[in-house]
Structures are given as structure tokens and as C-alpha cells.
Structure 1
């Protein structure tokens, strides 16, 4: 009975459909969240969805820098080439060494910033801390 069922499913036809589906998915572009500039609150990135070029993935990058006793975290969301994904390293900006981590995903708007349940005041506090740091650097 099982062999009759498997014969009826026509595995070759299923395989052809799967290959066609994969080919279609590979030429479709993703929509990803983006930040105009690296943001000090991950929630700032949710405002700018963008359609990516075909073949690119959604990137979520976090960079942590320290200047004296002040620590700052920057968030970036964008479309990315596959070679930019799953990377980590150092970047230098405004005399600060930032350690960054890039992570990518492959579904529409998958590069969300933070849990939506985060308190609203967290963004305000982070924004204020970032402003203070920028004023000290300037």
C-alpha cells in the first residue's frame, strides 16, 4: 500500500517543482529593515524597510565601542552581499575602536532590531547617552 502511495506521488515531478520553486526564490528580492546611519537604538531601524537587490540578504549588525568609562552600542540594519554575512571584527570611528558582529537572514523583514516588548524609555535613554558621548567627542 505504501509503495502504491509513493508511486502515485511521482517523486520526479515533486523534485522538478521543488527545483522550480528554488529557482524562483533565488531571483526574488528581499525586503529588509535599514537604518539611514548606524543607530543608537535598534528600534530606530524599523522605520525604513527597503527592497534589496536580487542575491542580497538582510543584515543585522551590532558594534560596541568604549571611550573612557562610556560604552556605546551602534546598530545597523541593511541589505548585504553574502560575503558581508557572519563576520565580526573591529572598526575605528571618531577615535573609538568598535567590535562588530554581522548576522544575516533570508526572509522579508527578518533583520528586526529588538523584541517589540522592550520598554519605550530604553530608546530615549540610549539616545540621550549617545548624544552625550557625541558632544564629548566633538
Structure 2
């Protein structure tokens, strides 16, 4: 009986693991302020992601932002993707505290209507 009591006591003293909540954008946005974000509970072992993609084709340039949960292997990387004639360079930054991938304070505002103009690009990127 004392062994069972000791096991239960040790189990109660273990630290609890709180789930990590991160912001997730409904759609990628061309401004961090355009992100239609909502808190999402991340699966165990994942971190909060803030990703920025810069797309260029000639003089045309668009910057896209995305927020979500991601496996740590995708954190701190930069890469390239080519879609619909536009070359995108992306950077993934991660953090591990509650809702830490919120809105950046030093970003410019472009208004929600600009999201519709590049929505088709995003649909083909995925």
C-alpha cells in the first residue's frame, strides 16, 4: 500500500505540461496586420511560427506573412520556392511562449482589401 501511495505522490509532484497556443492565420497576408488570426492549440512538440516570404518577378515584389504551429525542424530556416512565375524567398522564425507569434509592431498597414489581390498566389503555393 505504501508503494502505491508513494507512486501517486510522485505523480502529483511532476510538473504539468501546459499546451502551447499560437496564432494561426486563416490565409497568408501581405501585411502582418491583414492576418485574420485566431489562437490555436499546437500539437505536442510544436512551436509558434512567424514566416515571411518575399516574392519577386522583375520589378514586381510582394511580401507575404503567415502564422501557425510548426515542428522545430522548420524553425530558423530560409529557403526558396517558385510558383506562378514568382520566385519566393522565405524565412521562418519560431518562438515557444503563449501567443508569441502575434502582430509585429514595426510593420506597415496595407488594409484587408489587398489580401484579395494576392489570394490566388497563395492558393497555388500550397
Taking structure 1 as the reference length, what is the TM-score of the superposition?
0.67
Runs of 4+ in 1 over 4 A off after TM superposition: 132-135
Q: CA deviation at 1:40?
A: 1.0
Give matches, 1:50-129, under 5 Å: 50-115=40-105, 122-124=109-111, 127=114
Structure of higher CA gyration radius: 1
TM-score, normalised to structure 2, is 0.72
Structure with the higher fraction of residues in strand conformation: 2
- RMSD value, Cα: 3.0
Higher helix share: 1
Q: 2:54 aligns to what SS in structure 1?
A: strand
Tell whether the 8 Å contact from 2:52 to 2:91 is kept in structure 1 after alignment: yes
| Paired residue total | 110
* Larger relative contact order (Cα-Cα within 8 Å, sequence gap ≥ 6): 2
Q: Where does structure 1 lack aligned partners over 5 or more consecutive residues?
A: 1-18
Seen in structure 2, the aligned counterparts of structure 1 residues 79 and 134 have a Cα distance that, compared at 3 Å, is: closer
Match in the other structure for 1:36? 26
Deviations 1:33-89 (A, max 9, x none): 111222111123363211111111000000001122111000010000011111111
> Structure 2: where are the runs of 5+ without partners?
1-12, 122-126
